[in-house]
């Protein structure tokens, strides 16, 4: 019943890990629930759920599992003792597996463990899977199977199946598009400079100056270090970009959350940049911003990142009035705008969500690659793109 709660929550996409589970069991061992189901409910929620957005999911799972259970909860100490022992969970030896399966008597659990076992064998970077910190049951982080992102939002599908499916996507950095990893990749997007008011005491310099002054104290101040990166993001939306909606929006979210950036602006376009870009993804005329204004407003110190698949009809790129939108009659061909952008900004990159193999097959992508260095929209590609934006010139 208790395992049902744990896996029920994970099925609903609530990020519950073994650590939270252990916390709950410890609370139960101390008798904090006071043999009342309501108190147990409060206790379980406080220990297992870490965001109010999951309260609803918790309620649903709890109601489903504890339907019919009223009044006192009877948890035998044996069961508690077994559950409390973390060795039963992450060790994953065959005996343990058998023991687990037998003790839980829970088919879901069994299937889950089978999946887990299979994946441990197959997974190349196994350390990510079961945790780097050896197999100590008390290690933090990765030791327990937190690695499995159970994305069980769809009603009919088995959450375990989803867990299996999503594993590779979440953990291999060459294809992964996990929001957290993306943020980590973007964190390198910084150039620390000391500009602004002198508000920080420079200790080393103060001591040096004081010594030079024969012990007469000389305080030296300096401006604090801050990130000087200003980023302009232009995103292709609609058409062939639709399948990439999720990774692109994740990238946008990650950039919005990346508060280290000195300034950040984002605009949208369709297929190619012409004389207007748009402040919102619906690309209506009300949201249009002249690209020329953008170039006047943002100086060459801004970094430019364009996200798009660079796949379009050649005329859209090469011909005057080539834009696919009939209202958009730019006398300048798209490729000329791309050249203007590339020459205006000192550093610019093109981030392409298509697989690398496709780049050469697409005529327009080959042309765009002559204008911008192109990187793949993955954690690795993003890291390279960031390097190209702020790293030393090669």
Partner 1 sequence: MRNESNGFHRFHGTAGYIASGPLVDAVNCAVALERPLLIKGEPGTGKTLLAMHVAEGLGMPMLSWHIKSTSKAADGLYVYDTVQRLNDSRFGGGNVSDIRHYIKLGPLGRSFAADERHVLLIDEIDKADLEFPNDLLRELDEMSFTVVETGEEMIARERPVVVITSNNEKELPDAFLRRCIFHFIEFPDAALMRQIVAVHHPNLDATLLDQVLIKFYWLREQSELRKKPSTSELIDWISALLCAGITPDQIESHIPFIGALLKKEQDADALQRFHAKGGHYPSRWSDLGPRYNQ
By the criterion CB under 8 A, which residues form the site for partner 1? Answer: 15, 17, 19-20, 23, 26-27, 29-32, 34, 38-39, 42-43, 45-47, 49-52, 55, 77, 80, 140-141, 180, 201, 203, 206-207, 210, 215-217, 219, 257, 259
Choice between 50 and 169, CB closer to partner 1: 50
Choice between 63 and 98, CB closer to partner 1: 63
| CB of residue 260 to partner 1, shortest distance in Å | 8
Sheet containing strand 263-269, strands side by side: 288-290, 276-278, 263-269, 230-236, 303-307, 347-352, 374-376
Give the CB-side neighbour count of residue 280, counting CA atoms within 13 A.
5
| CB of residue 143 to partner 1, shortest distance in Å | 12
Q: What is the DSSP letter of 8?
A: H
Choice between 253 and 329, CB closer to partner 1: 253
| CB of residue 43 to partner 1, shortest distance in Å | 6
| CB of residue 49 to partner 1, shortest distance in Å | 6
Calculate ∠ Cα 300-306-307, nearest 5°.
165
Q: What is the DSSP letter of 204?
A: H
- Least Cα distance to 181 among 378, 386, 385 occurs for 378
Choice between 34 and 126, CB closer to partner 1: 34
Kind of pairing between the strands at 263-269 and 288-290? unpaired
| CB of residue 161 to partner 1, shortest distance in Å | 24
- Least Cα distance to 41 among 22, 29, 55 occurs for 55
Whole-angstrom distance, CA of residue 202 vs CA of residue 225: 11
| CB of residue 61 to partner 1, shortest distance in Å | 16
Per DSSP (E only), the strands in the chain are 192-194, 200-201, 221-222, 225-227, 230-236, 263-269, 276-278, 288-290, 303-307, 347-352, 374-376
- Cα separations in angstroms, 315 against 3, 119, 342, 360: 60, 48, 20, 18
Choice between 139 and 238, CB closer to partner 1: 139
| CB of residue 227 to partner 1, shortest distance in Å | 12
| CB of residue 129 to partner 1, shortest distance in Å | 17
Whether the Cβ atoms of residue 303 and residue 232 lie closer than 8 Å to each other: yes
Choice between 253 and 284, CB closer to partner 1: 253
Choice between 134 and 314, CB closer to partner 1: 134
Evaluated on CA atoms 218, 209, 228, 184, the torsion sign reads negative
Choice between 23 and 332, CB closer to partner 1: 23
Q: What is the DSSP letter of 372?
A: S
Whether the Cβ atoms of residue 327 and residue 255 lie closer than 8 Å to each other: no
Whole-angstrom distance, CA of residue 74 vs CA of residue 64: 18
Choice between 38 and 394, CB closer to partner 1: 38
Choice between 81 and 246, CB closer to partner 1: 81
Question: CA torsion angle for 208, 210, 211, 212 (degrees, to 10)?
Answer: 80
Whether the Cβ atoms of residue 143 and residue 135 lie closer than 8 Å to each other: yes
| CB of residue 217 to partner 1, shortest distance in Å | 5
| CB of residue 276 to partner 1, shortest distance in Å | 30
Whole-angstrom distance, CA of residue 126 vs CA of residue 164: 14
């Amino acid at each position: 019943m208790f395992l049902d709660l744990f896996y029920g929550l994970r099925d609903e996409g609530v990020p519950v890990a073994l650590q939270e589970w252990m916390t709950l069991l410890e609370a139960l061992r101390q008798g904090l629930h006071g043999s009342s189901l309501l108190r147990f409910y409060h206790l379980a929620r406080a220990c297992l759920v870490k965001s109010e957005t999951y309260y609803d999911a918790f309620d649903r799972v709890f109601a489903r599992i504890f339907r019919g259970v009223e009044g006192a909860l009877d948890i035998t100490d044996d069961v508690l003792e077994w559950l409390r022992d973390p060795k039963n969970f992450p060790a994953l030896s065959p005996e343990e597996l058998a023991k687990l399966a037998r003790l839980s008597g829970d088919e879901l659990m069994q299937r889950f463990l089978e999946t887990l076992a299979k994946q441990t064998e197959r997974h190349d970077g196994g350390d990510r899977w079961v945790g780097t910190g050896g197999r100590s049951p008390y290690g933090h982080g990765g030791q327990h199977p937190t690695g499995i992102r159970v994305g069980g939002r769809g009603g009919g599908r088995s959450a375990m199946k989803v867990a299996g499916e999503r594993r590779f996507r979440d953990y291999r950095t060459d294809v992964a598009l996990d929001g957290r990893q993306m943020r980590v990749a973007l964190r390198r997007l910084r150039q620390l400079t000391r500009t602004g008011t002198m508000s920080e005491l420079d200790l080393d310099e103060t001591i040096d100056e004081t010594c030079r002054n024969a012990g007469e104290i000389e305080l030296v101040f300096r401006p604090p270090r801050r990130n000087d990166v200003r980023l302009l993001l232009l995103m292709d939306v609609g058409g062939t970009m639709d399948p990439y909606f999720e990774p692109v929006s994740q990238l946008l979210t990650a950039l919005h959350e990346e508060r280290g950036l000195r300034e950040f602006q984002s605009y949208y376009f369709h297929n190619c940049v012409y004389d207007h870009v748009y402040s919102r993804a619906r690309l209506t005329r009300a949201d249009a911003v002249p690209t020329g204004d953008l170039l006047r407003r943002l100086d060459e110190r801004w970094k430019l990142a364009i996200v798009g698949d660079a796949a379009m009809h050649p005329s859209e790129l090469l011909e005057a009035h080539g834009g696919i939108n009939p209202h958009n009659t730019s006398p300048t061909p798209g490729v000329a705008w791309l050249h203007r952008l590339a020459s205006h900004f000192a550093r610019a990159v093109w981030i392409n969500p298509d697989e690398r193999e496709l780049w050469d097959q697409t005529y327009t992508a080959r042309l765009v690659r002559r204008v911008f260095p192109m990187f793949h929209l993955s954690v690795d590609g993003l890291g390279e793109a960031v390097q190209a934006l702020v790293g030393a010139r090669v």
